[in-house]
Amino acid sequence: MAKDDKSKGKKANDAKKGKGKGKKEKPGDGISVAAHPRAAAAVKRSKGFGGIAGFALAAYVSFKAGVPADQVALRAIAFGVAGYMLAWACAVTVWRHLVMAELRHAVETGRATYAPPPQEPSGRSRGGRQSAKAAAASAEVAADNDEQAGDPATAVE
């Protein structure tokens, strides 16, 4: 195989790798935990508490067991990272269910409507992406719930 053949193969592989660039979805592109104001804040808070709790628990248990200080620090950091990731996974799972239940409730009460994804000229659907109307409905639901949080007469139970 000649030297030129190898360089062409590498360029072809590089072109294949860059195919999906520029198509990343932004947090506001649809209904998601990241796009929901209360959910995003709660997930951030949970990650912080999970990391600190894992760090503190591992440091305390290791110190009481008589482990050398350098090993206490390593264990505490490792368990802090594990606690951070565990808290993140749990918080996102819980808030995913809460956001969808909140949206479902808003649709059932008539505060938001479901808009199917727009059709392409060929008549085929665009796929799993949410429409702009659905994203706007999600934002309206979040704003309505924030307004109603302080009013006991309109509280949803």
Note the pLDDT tens digit of each residue in 96-119.
Answer: 999 999 989 988 888 877 777 677
Range from 69-73, 139-143, 145-149 that averages highest in pLDDT: 69-73
**Beta-bridge partners for 119:** 125
- Sequence-separated (6 or more) residues with CB below 8 Å from residue 50: 83, 84, 85, 86, 87, 88, 90
Q: Is residue 83 part of a domain?
A: yes
Q: Is residue 135 part of a domain?
A: no
Number of domains observed in the structure of the chain: 1
User: Is 16 inside any structural domain?
Assistant: no
55 touches 72 (CB < 8 A): no
Residue 75 lies in a domain: yes
Provide the whole-model pTM. 0.56
Decide if 69 is inside a domain. Answer: yes
Which one, of 30, 38, 12, lies nearest residue 117 by Cα?
30
Q: Which residue reads 């959910």 in tokens?
A: 39
Most confident by average pLDDT, 2-6, 68-72, 141-145: 68-72
Provide the domain limits for residue 88: 36-109
143 part of a folded domain:
no
At residue 119, the 3 state secondary structure works out as strand
Task: Please give the residue that has the higher pLDDT: either 113 or 34.
Answer: 34
Tally Cβ neighbours within 10 Å of residue 88.
Answer: 16
pLDDT at 77: 97
Predicted confidence at residue 142, as pLDDT, reads: 58
